[in-house]
Structure 1
Amino acid sequence: MTPAELTDVPHRGLLSIATMLAVIMQVLDTTIANVALPSMQGSLGAAQDTINWVLTSYIVASAIVMPLTGWIADAIGRNRLFLISVAGFTLASCLCGMAGSLTEMVAFRVLQGIFGASLAPLSQAVLLDINPRERHGQAMALWGAGIMVAPVLGPTLGGWLTDSFDWRWVFYINVPVGLLAFLGIAFTMPASPRRHRSFDFVGFAFLGLFVGALQLMLDRGEQLDWFSSPEIIVETALAAAALWCFIVHSATAEHPFIPPQIFRDRNYVAASIFTFAISVVLLATTALLPPILQRIMGFPTVTTGLVLAPRGIGTMIAMLLVGRLLRFVDPRLIIVVGLGLTAWGLWGMTGFTPDMDSWPIIYTGVAMGFGLGLVFVPMSTVGFATLPPQLRTESAALYSLVRNIGSSIGISMVSVVLTRNIQVNHAELAERLTAFSPGVDAAAHAVGMNASSSQFAGVIDQITTLQATMIAYVDDFKLMMYVSLAALPLVFLLRKPRTIAQGPVIPDAE
């Protein structure tokens, strides 16, 4: 069927639900397993420095295979690839739940990554194809809700499943969801045509090496103390060399792995850069907030999830609203407002303290979630508005890859800043504290200790570490605020579609 015929799918609503179940299942697995790692470590007999391969193997496998989505979809048909991906991901999830050793778990997580890599780009391309242009904003709102809310809810759901049942249910939960998605796609998605095209193995090899080495470097850098480790140096050099070779090969090959037409669309390129910047902020702050609530403020897992839930609710409300606003309001204006709200929410987070209640986290989370929701939908809609339909699957895969790389870089960046700032802040605070400091002397009298005793020195060191850690988190939020503000000028690279309600979308000259 042609893209025009796909808009006449009889069960469009059911197909939309099925595709969203598939993508939510896959996106959840990028974060849901994090909180279960301690339980897995004991059950699988893994060491502290090896259990992280449960996360690394999934991320790296998914990143390497994701660019293949467009070529495989053309070779076997998009509907067949979708069904194979959902079935394979569901089976791999079941195998992960039954794993008896770390080796088995890593192998099954690799399978999860391989089969799950295509789910996000396929779902985006399908939602664009089965909806007429005037509904693309609402379609991207639905897709964006799953992409952005699922990572926020993942740690909460994973913690609840681990505490209430067992860590294996973090993976078993995918089985009923995957089954429903498979049946929905099988009965509602029409067959798509196959299109034979040559496969640029050299280009794919260079791109795969770049993505794999980069993801390994970002994921293992903190654990290995970054560039003091020979492994990180080798992975960085491999990533840089592979990227250079990929660019040179793509510029000279007759049929490069990624069609060059994609990069001639200014809106798509600008939206991809935007996605990279927003992904840095989205998952980085998602990774920072739970440790603050649990380690500094002492919240249990369930309470942490309830406090963070309003952020996801804000995102969903914004996406439902913006899907309709796109018909009447310039999407670039919506993006500016969204980035402003995101920066304002992050600015509010720079005022966090260890003894505050949950209200500042709730209202800043809602503001930031609402802002990100306003950015994500118009950015995706405008980015794909001027692309030819036959390039949607390929471009959606690249779009998702850029989003994943941005998320990985964001998490690594805040981890580096956090670790180093804790040490610096602790040293600066400690050098100002002596037994004769008024605050120290008052604290010693309050707890009935001698200010010069070694026991009280331990208490002061704990307090100093807590304050130094909180300051380091605040510094990270400030950094994310600057990243959000730095993305604002990118709005000028976007061209407003002249119309979304009629015929082909033609960009304005502005």
Structure 2
Amino acid sequence: MSTTDGAVAAGPASNGPPPAALPGTGIAMRHSGWLKAAAMLATLVQVLDMTIANVALPHMQAALGANQDSVSWVLTSYIVASAIAIPATGWLSDRLGRRMLYLISIAGFTLTSALCGLAANLDSLVLFRVLQGLSGAFLSPLGQTVMLDSSPPEKRGQAMAIYGMGVMIGPILGPVLGGFLTEHMNWRWVFFVNIPLGFFAFLGLFLFLPDVKRPPRPLDVLGLVLLSTGLASLQLILDRGQHVDWFNSAEIWLETGIAISALWMFVVHTLTGRNPLYPLAMLRDRNLLIGALLMAMVGLVLTAAMSLLPMMLQGLMNYPVLDAGIMMAVRGIGVFITMAVIGRLITIVNIKICILTGFAIICLTFWMTTGWSLEVGRTDMALNGLIQGLGIGMLFVPISLVTFSSLPPEFRTDAAGILNLARSVGSSAGISLVITMLARNSATSHEDIVAHLTPYSLYVDPSMFSLPGDAITTALTVLNAEVTRQALMVSFLDDFYLMMILTILVMPLVLLIRPSRNKPPSQEAILME
């Protein structure tokens, strides 16, 4: 066995050479199904935790005696810690072995989840969320790598479809599950729910995941520090910008300077250093770079929609939390339907057409939402969510396979880390963008509507404004409240329109995808026709 394919050291799941093992992985075919289930459970726990705590923030704020600004660090600390840790995934996998890193990661994530649920104050909760983000950052990249390695080439499309279901449906179900647990139990259960799931994931990985060791490489300490610093600063900008009024704040200027400097120095160091954090041979792969940009757009679109709709449903249309969650879950049904067939579809349809069709469907749904009003019905919203889910489901698997199709196996863990990092940054950017635009456009729309309100446009006799008593004040208060509602709805529509434009702008990148030069007799050989 060549060092390129990796040397395999059997874990406790095997005594001697495993029968019918997949080449270069040590994974026995008879165990691959159980291993995939364990990897998917670990991934699902991690992606659920990205959104499950959002709906519980008001309850945490009341229980811990925090204010709105300080309690937001419960989310920010987790995101920043994950961004810092993800770039080290490939090096740690080579140094510790994938099996050891995976087990440490899921065990650490489960333990810190329990500590988060037991936190007595906000400071300890934020500290435990940092540790949770650091330990959980490796779960998605390792899960994607294991799903690929545990599948023969002709079934990797199906494996990515299964993995994509967890990654895409997890953020959709997170608010629903979080709302249910918070409403019927308390906020601590949004963390305690990870304990049994994490335990079974750990057990499955311990029993069925063999150890794959590759020649250790030296750690690019400077590159890791620069990239982690730049990404952490960028995540702080995106997450804190709206809270501190963006560039009217010295904090944002400082973080922007640090982010630009650190990321620029990282690029220069990577191009000139002797042993960069990411191998130049991998970074020269055009499909990897295009795949990362497309995955960032998938994260942006999915998360932006997931952020806007709950606020619109609950804030403007007075939907109960659970009803809003159910309405959001319809999108997950669309994702599930497409994911169930995309593994086979990409073997008969050009992969570029699949990706372009997915983006086109998403554009269509955003265009449909620009015609909504405060009287939009449940059926229209559910149908729109279902169609958008179909489009989102057509993106993850083709983009993943495009990214990995021309990369050697030794680059998979690093490439998976880059994809997950791109999706994470895209998600943060999406939330920041739509929330900022919503706040600013709401104020602008309010002014525009008020400018067109006169006694004559309201069909009111001007002499009524001279009547004594509180009737006029009350009427004006009611009128202002309605203007505010209408202005906020206009702002939501503006955000939907912006998402449509951004989706259209990213579509030409699909045409730059390069056919794979590695053409074994497998599914990957026909993916890039």
TM-score by length of 1: 0.95
Q: In 2 relative to 1, CA 131–509 (structure 1 residues): closer, same or farther, beyond 3 Å? A: closer
1:157 corresponds to which of 177, 188, 203 = 177
Aligned 1:102-501 pairs, distance under 5 A? 102-438=122-458, 453-497=472-516
Check conservation: 2:350, 2:528, Cα contact below 8 A: no
The residue identity in structure 1 corresponding to 2:422 is: V
Comparing 428-437 with 34-43, greater Cα deviation is found at 428-437
Structure 2 CA distance for aligned equivalents of residues 162 and 257 of structure 1: 41
Say how many residue pairs are matched.
507
Aligned 1:66-77 pairs, distance under 5 A? 66-77=86-97
TM-fit CA distance, 1:195: 2.4
TM-fit CA distance, 1:9: 3.8
User: Per-residue CA shift, 1:44-65, capped at 9, x if unaligned?
Assistant: 1112210001000000001100
TM-fit CA distance, 1:438: 3.3
The residue identity in structure 2 corresponding to 1:482 is: I
The residue identity in structure 2 corresponding to 1:489 is: P
Check conservation: 1:318, 1:374, Cα contact below 8 A: yes
The residue identity in structure 2 corresponding to 1:361 is: M
TM-fit CA distance, 1:218: 0.6
TM-fit CA distance, 1:437: 2.2
Report the equivalent of 2:30. Answer: 10
Unaligned runs of 5+ in 1: none
SS in 1 for 2:30: coil
User: Per-residue CA shift, 1:199-238, capped at 9, x if unaligned?
Assistant: 1101111001100100011100000000000001100110
Matched, 1:19 2:32: no
Check conservation: 1:219, 1:408, Cα contact below 8 A: yes
Comparing 348-357 with 309-318, greater Cα deviation is found at 348-357
1:98 corresponds to which of 118, 136, 147 = 118
Structure 2 CA distance for aligned equivalents of residues 265 and 5 of structure 1: 22
SS in 1 for 2:348: coil
TM-fit CA distance, 1:177: 0.2
Structure 2 CA distance for aligned equivalents of residues 66 and 125 of structure 1: 14
Structure 1 CA distance for aligned equivalents of residues 403 and 294 of structure 2: 10
Q: In 2 relative to 1, CA 251–498 (structure 1 residues): closer, same or farther, beyond 3 Å? A: closer
Check conservation: 1:498, 1:505, Cα contact below 8 A: no
User: Per-residue CA shift, 1:69-92, capped at 9, x if unaligned?
Assistant: 110010010011001000000000
SS in 2 for 1:58: helix
The residue identity in structure 2 corresponding to 1:187 is: L
CA RMSD of superposed structures (Å): 2.2
The residue identity in structure 1 corresponding to 2:206 is: A
Check conservation: 2:346, 2:527, Cα contact below 8 A: no
The residue identity in structure 2 corresponding to 1:464 is: V
TM-fit CA distance, 1:5: 3.9
TM-fit CA distance, 1:4: 1.7
SS in 1 for 2:218: coil
Structure 2 CA distance for aligned equivalents of residues 424 and 164 of structure 1: 39
Comparing 489-498 with 36-45, greater Cα deviation is found at 489-498
SS in 2 for 1:49: helix
Matched, 1:60 2:47: no
Comparing 450-459 with 498-507, greater Cα deviation is found at 498-507
TM-score by length of 2: 0.92
User: Per-residue CA shift, 1:152-195, capped at 9, x if unaligned?
Assistant: 11111101100000100000000000001000110011121142
SS in 2 for 1:192: strand
Check conservation: 1:327, 1:500, Cα contact below 8 A: no
Check conservation: 1:89, 1:112, Cα contact below 8 A: yes
User: Per-residue CA shift, 1:432-460, capped at 9, x if unaligned?
Assistant: 11233235679x9xxxx999811100000
Structure 1 CA distance for aligned equivalents of residues 382 and 233 of structure 2: 37
The residue identity in structure 2 corresponding to 1:82 is: Y
Structure 1 CA distance for aligned equivalents of residues 288 and 313 of structure 2: 38
The residue identity in structure 2 corresponding to 1:386 is: S
Report the equivalent of 2:13. Answer: none
Check conservation: 2:347, 2:527, Cα contact below 8 A: no
SS in 1 for 2:66: coil
The residue identity in structure 2 corresponding to 1:78 is: R
TM-fit CA distance, 1:8: 3.8
The residue identity in structure 2 corresponding to 1:373 is: G
Q: In 2 relative to 1, CA 163–501 (structure 1 residues): closer, same or farther, beyond 3 Å? A: farther
Structure 2 CA distance for aligned equivalents of residues 508 and 325 of structure 1: 10
Check conservation: 1:134, 1:500, Cα contact below 8 A: no
User: Per-residue CA shift, 1:316-373, capped at 9, x if unaligned?
Assistant: 1101111111121111111111111111111111112112221121111111111011
User: Per-residue CA shift, 1:247-304, capped at 9, x if unaligned?
Assistant: 1111110101111111221222111111112211110111000011101110001111
